Every structure is written in structure tokens, then in C-alpha cells.
């Protein structure tokens, strides 16, 4: 198989696993109804899924499994445009695939599963969503958290695309969940938000713009900072 195709497939599979495991902890695991205590297991689910995929597909693609991370790597000058576009498309497809697998599992629940009411682990903000924070709070959280997450990845990553430090990346994602879940559910990843939103209903779709646009900006900002060597020892 062509090496480029392998990279794209690795990104698709890795992103699908992230959505399945992370959003599965919220829905199948039932931790959504246990917040704030449920924040720890949900954060661990997302963080450990990233860590696992870093070692599973990292040697193939670098394990971005997140369009915001790919944009950060691209903005830092560590990736060409064509490959970045392929990664992002693969990740978005992977997010949908993970959500589909999760939805199929949930439909097998005794008594059925009403995704319109119970959700699919989608991100959001405002009235009726977790801490009911404002759109401004949501924008700030997603921008800052994505910048931090992407900056950590760029800081420990190799310019040659070496194997990522999966444990550090996974722990970073876990830690970011602790303060920020109640605001937006913590996305920092457009693909993670896209898949569940597609099946969760019109309200989730109407809010999807924030979880695509703001993490993308956060990732680009981190990449530009590293390209300018502001956070580099070079």
C-alpha cells in the first residue's frame, strides 16, 4: 500500500477510535449524568485514547487525529499543504465513522436509545448544556485549550515527524478536561465535534461552527508561534 494512503488510513482509524472511546465513555459509560465527578473518567477516556493511538498509528502518520493539530503542524512549516489537506479530510471522515459505530452500539440498548434526547457526546454551550456558559466563554475555552494542546504537541514533536510522546499528549488532553468540560464538553478537535453533532440533531449542528472554526484558529496560532520561534529554543 502507498505510504501516503497508509498515513491517511491511520488518521482515519485513529480519529474514529478517539470518538468511539471518548464519546462512548459519555454515552455507553453513562458518565455524562455523573458530572462533575464524571469529568475524570471522561477526561481519561479521551486522553488515554489519544495515548493509545499515538503508539498504534503514530509510527505511520504521527497521530495527529485532529484537524487543529494538523493545521498547527502545517503552520509551523513541518508539513506540506497537500498532505495536510489529506490528513484533515481523513480525520473528519474518521470522526463520522467513530460516531456511526457508537450509534450502532447504542441502538442495541434495551428499551432503545433516543439520541435526540440523550445525545451522542456532542459539544455545545448555553442553556441546557452542562454549566450553561455563554458563547464568549465557549470561544475563549476552545481557543486557549486548543492553543495549549497544539503547543505541547509541537514542543515535544520532531520536525522530522518522529513518534509522538503519547503519554505526555494524552495527559495534556486529560488535564484540559478538568477545568473546561463544563463549558463546552471540551472539543479542541473539529473531527471529534463533527461526528457526534451530525447525529445529535439540529441544535448540535447549529453550534458546530464554533468547534470547527475556533480550534482551527487555536491550532494555527500555535503553529505560527513555533514558526516564529517564539516558543522555540532555536
Inside any domain, residue 209 = yes
Average pLDDT over residues 19-42: 88
Give the model's pLDDT for residue 234: 66
User: C-alpha grid cell for residue 182?
Assistant: 463544563
Determine the length of the chain: 234
Give the model's pLDDT for residue 159: 42
Place of cell 464554533: 210
pLDDT digits (tens, 9 = 90+) for 108-166: 988 889 998 899 999 999 999 999 999 999 999 999 999 999 999 999 874 444 455 88
Inside any domain, residue 232 = no
Contact 87, 70 (CB under 8 A): yes
Burial of 83 (0-12, 13-18, 19+ CB in 10 A): middle
Average pLDDT over residues 216-227: 97
32 vs 61, residue with greater confidence: 61
CATH code, 58 = 1.20.1080.10
**Residue 170's pLDDT band (boundaries 50, 70, 90)?**
very high
Average pLDDT over residues 94-120: 94
Give me the number of domains the chain comprises.
Answer: 1
Q: How far apart are CA 179 and CA 199, in angstroms?
A: 27
User: Domain span at residue 188?
Assistant: 3-227
Amino acid at each position: 500500500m502507498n505510504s501516503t494512503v497508509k498515513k491517511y488510513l491511520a488518521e482515519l482509524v485513529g480519529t474514529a477510535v478517539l470518538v468511539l472511546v471518548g464519546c462512548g465513555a459519555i454515552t455507553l459509560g453513562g458518565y455524562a449524568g455523573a458530572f462533575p465527578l464524571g469529568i475524570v473518567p471522561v477526561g481519561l477516556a479521551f486522553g488515554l485514547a489519544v495515548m493509545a493511538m499515538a503508539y498504534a498509528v503514530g509510527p505511520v502518520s504521527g497521530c495527529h487525529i485532529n484537524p487543529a493539530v494538523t493545521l498547527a503542524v502545517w503552520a509551523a512549516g513541518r508539513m506540506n499543504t497537500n498532505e495536510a489537506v489529506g490528513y484533515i479530510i481523513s480525520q473528519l471522515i474518521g470522526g463520522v465513522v467513530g460516531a456511526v459505530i457508537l450509534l450502532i452500539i447504542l441502538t442495541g440498548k434495551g428499551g432503545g436509545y433516543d439520541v435526540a434526547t440523550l445525545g451522542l457526546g456532542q459539544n455545545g454551550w448555553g442553556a441546557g448544556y452542562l454549566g450553561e456558559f455563554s458563547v464568549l466563554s465557549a470561544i475563549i475555552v476552545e481557543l486557549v485549550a486548543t492553543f495549549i494542546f497544539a503547543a505541547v504537541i509541537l514542543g515535544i514533536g520532531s520536525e522530522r515527524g518522529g513518534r509522538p510522546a503519547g503519554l505526555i499528549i494524552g495527559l495534556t488532553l486529560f488535564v484540559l478536561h478538568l477545568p473546561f468540560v463544563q463549558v463546552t464538553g471540551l472539543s479542541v478537535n473539529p473531527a471529534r465535534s463533527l461526528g457526534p453533532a451530525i447525529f445529535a440533531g439540529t441544535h448540535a449542528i447549529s453550534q458546530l461552527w464554533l468547534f470547527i472554526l475556533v480550534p482551527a484558529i487555536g491550532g494555527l496560532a500555535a503553529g505560527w508561534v513555533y514558526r516564529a520561534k517564539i516558543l522555540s529554543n532555536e
